[in-house]
Structure 1
Amino acid sequence: MVTGARGSPRLLDLVRARCRVRHLSIRTEHAYVGWIRRFILANGKRHPRDMGGAEVTAFLTVLAMRHRVAAGTQNQALAALLFLYRDVLGVELPWMDAVVRAKRPRRVPVVLAVEEVLRLLRAMEGRTGLLAGLLYGTGMRLMEALRLRIKDVDFVQHQIIVREGKGGKDRHVPLPERLTDALHEEIARALQLHEDDLRAGHGAVWLPDALARKYPNAARERGWQNVFPAQRLSRDPRDGVMRRHHLDESVLQRAVRSARLRAGIVKPASCHTLRHSFATHLLEAGQDIRTIQQLLGHKDLSTTQIYTHVLNRGVLGVRSPLDRLPGA
């Protein structure tokens, strides 16, 4: 990396600091820092102030043509570089209009049939089985489920409050009754871990900066603890404090993949497939699309309408002309 007064280690620290001022997630921060580092290395460790639209366009072109990254990945790299120039360096971007964003293909989501969901869930057990059931039963995104706090599980009203979903929005989703007992057990386990951590001098869960300042004691309160805590304590990259974070997403991702193979499901199903299946099966059951939009947390109804295309296939859609031929 470039060193000195304009060295990139110092620059990357500025990027991290600006990410935290903007309250970006730690995942976004890591992604932005990674792309900015790659951009600097790809241009001979030159400082970004000495570069502009030509270098950004060339970098994105190499990603697409040589590395064949997906459109979403290319756009994430562009977002990181725009953040660097606009928010960190404060540089005007007269060349911005010349940088073309990759067009993401509009694909019909992979959806499991009800019988396939049943086979998948029966092939899972324990914490990961409970989490997979929550993804299908509530329509939550993977990280929304993993970041769930104890206080946001409402057993009385049979609902879950999803905090800070995509776009920073809160919403309510139904709490499946058949998961109630398992959730009670999981929360009891989480609280026992919390008590053990407190006795060991830890027990303060991570909170957003504003909440941590407003409620200095909240991080050790029972309600703020994660429903699905990690097995071990780890050092928080934001402040260096040893604390217990939520379960890592890779644990559930591997469990779903393994269960899919055991269940003999050939569709490329993932954790997000359970969210797609939630929406599609509600539509099949006659639920109105506006309600489904609210449950999924979609800003635009057109995003939810993609599931109507799924319903237009097979026996629920147009009958093939082959099946109309005499003797067919």
Structure 2
Amino acid sequence: MNWEAKIITHKKEKRIAVYFEKNAELIARIKKLDGSRWSQSLGVWHLPDTVENRDRFQLAPLSHSLPSDEGMEQITKFIQWLSSKRYSSNTIKTYSEALKSFLIFYREKAIAEISNEDVIIYNNEYILKNNLSDSYQNQIVNAIKLYFTTIRETKIEIDKIHRPKRSKLLPNVLSKGEVKLILNAPTNIKHKMMLSLIYSCGLRCGELLTLRPVHIDSKRNIIMIKNSKGKKDRIAPLSPKILEMLREYYILFKPTTYLFEGRINGQPYDDRSLQQVLKQALQKAGITKPVTLHWLRHSYATHLLESGTDLRYIQELLGHNSSKTTEIYTHVSTKSIQQIKSPFDDL
């Protein structure tokens, strides 16, 4: 995947511009980064000029931008090991870049001499000093732990490397009324179908766009979600209403390769266009919250929980590895909370 990053001044502000040929995967990754924006006038995606982003796009503001020769050799071996274990290309890039940042910091030290104390120093003198996020720190720690499990001669004690505490952020959830307004807003059947399927099956954006017509099993009333996050397949039930909408959609659009195709037959619908579909639906529905497509997935899970669906089934439907991930929806479900009477009412 070819791209080039450089520092630019845009609207009197230092930004990092990322140049690449149109690529849905890379666009989706950039859009997830804090502060990323598309410039219509420059025709480029750009991000805040932070230490974290400079490091991410290999523009790290360090005296050396590369590890030692030994470090580079080890990164290559690490990439080969990750590839042999069939890690996704995104994970391989994330982990190898994270390890690279760490080995740049210890460029003058033999890798076999790096200790747990060095990891603590790196966290304090680089991560914390540059105000990098806890999620970025987690990536670094994950990469370090995985890398040092693959080599023998090391002073690192893997079990003693601890990850930072994660921020406990609650998922954003819409009411059923708000969801109904959003799903009824589009007049285009394809647009309505895509948003409705995300909510009705709790799909991630990428899962929707890689669906194929053969993944719809109308006889069993299920949808097959293939090779989703973590390279897992799963199934989700199709409501009769959704199935009827799908039949109508299929007759009108006759998709060939993907269930939702863009202007070019056989090519998946563009994720940026799908974001625009949601944006237009929100405007038409008069909803001013900063809703994203993932809010529909969160809302699906929460509404299932509120209707009495067992948490274990919701975990399966969402494709979560751990029940702890699914349990977060118990904190945003209002079913029990609304029944609590405030002592204020007795005053």
TM-score of the aligned structures, taking structure 2 as reference length: 0.65
Return 178-187 or 101-110, whichever deviates more: 178-187
Cα distance, 1:132 vs structure 2? 2.6
CA distance in 2 between partners of 1:288 and 1:143 (Å): 26
1:151 to 204, 210, 214: 214
3-state SS of paired residue (1:269): coil
**301 and 314 in structure 1: CA distance in 2 versus 1, 3 angstrom threshold:** closer
Match of 1:172 in 2: 235
Kindly indicate which of the two structures has a greater share of residues assigned to helix. Answer: 1
Structure 1: tracts of 5 or more residues without a match: 192-224, 234-243
Does 1:304 pair with 2:326? yes
CA distance in 1 between partners of 2:108 and 2:253 (Å): 49
**78 and 306 in structure 1: CA distance in 2 versus 1, 3 angstrom threshold:** same
Return 55-64 or 114-123, whichever deviates more: 55-64
Does 1:181 pair with 2:247? yes
CA distance in 1 between partners of 2:109 and 2:213 (Å): 48
CA distance in 1 between partners of 2:236 and 2:194 (Å): 15
CA distance in 2 between partners of 1:179 and 1:13 (Å): 49
1:95 to 152, 157, 177: 157
Q: Which amino acid aligns with 1:273?
A: W
User: Root-mean-square deviation (CA), in Å?
Assistant: 3.6
3-state SS of paired residue (2:232): coil
Q: Which amino acid aligns with 2:130?
A: R
Return 20-29 or 76-85, whichever deviates more: 76-85
Q: State the identity %.
A: 28
Return 178-187 or 285-294, whichever deviates more: 178-187
CA distance in 1 between partners of 2:273 and 2:109 (Å): 39
CA distance in 2 between partners of 1:185 and 1:90 (Å): 60
Kindly indicate which of the two structures has a greater share of residues assigned to strand. Answer: 2
3-state SS of paired residue (2:235): strand
Alignment check: 8 A CA contact 2:78 2:147 kept? yes
3-state SS of paired residue (2:236): strand
Does 1:107 pair with 2:129? no
Cα distance, 1:21 vs structure 2? 0.9
Alignment check: 8 A CA contact 1:2 1:47 kept? no
2:287 to 265, 279, 282: 265
Match of 1:31 in 2: 94
Cα distance, 1:182 vs structure 2? 6.0
Task: Describe the superposition over 1:183-241 as per-residue Cα deviations: whole angstroms up to 9, x where unpaired.
Answer: 5269833x2xxxxxxxxxxxxxxxxxxxxxxxxxxxxxxxxx543457679xxxxxxxx
Match of 2:308 in 1: 286
Cα distance, 1:307 vs structure 2? 2.4
**91 and 308 in structure 1: CA distance in 2 versus 1, 3 angstrom threshold:** same
Structure 2: tracts of 5 or more residues without a match: 1-64
**54 and 5 in structure 1: CA distance in 2 versus 1, 3 angstrom threshold:** same
**Aligned pairs, number:** 278
Cα distance, 1:78 vs structure 2? 1.2
Task: Describe the superposition over 1:128-151 as per-residue Cα deviations: whole angstroms up to 9, x where unpaired.
Answer: 553332221101223332333443
CA distance in 2 between partners of 1:112 and 1:283 (Å): 14
**286 and 135 in structure 1: CA distance in 2 versus 1, 3 angstrom threshold:** same
Task: Describe the superposition over 1:44-95 as per-residue Cα deviations: whole angstroms up to 9, x where unpaired.
Answer: 47674553434433333332452330x33321221122222323x4554643
3-state SS of paired residue (1:164): strand
Cα distance, 1:280 vs structure 2? 1.6
CA distance in 2 between partners of 1:99 and 1:226 (Å): 44
Alignment check: 8 A CA contact 2:202 2:317 kept? yes
Alignment check: 8 A CA contact 2:112 2:155 kept? no
Task: Describe the superposition over 1:136-170 as per-residue Cα deviations: whole angstroms up to 9, x where unpaired.
Answer: 11012233323334432223322111223444433
Alignment check: 8 A CA contact 1:127 1:186 kept? no
3-state SS of paired residue (1:276): helix
Superposed, 1:244-259 pairs within 5 Å as 246-247=268-269, 249-253=271-275, 255-257=277-279, 259=281
Q: Which amino acid aligns with 2:103?
A: I
CA distance in 2 between partners of 1:3 and 1:38 (Å): 8
CA distance in 2 between partners of 1:281 and 1:291 (Å): 13
**130 and 251 in structure 1: CA distance in 2 versus 1, 3 angstrom threshold:** same
Match of 1:276 in 2: 298
Match of 2:259 in 1: 227
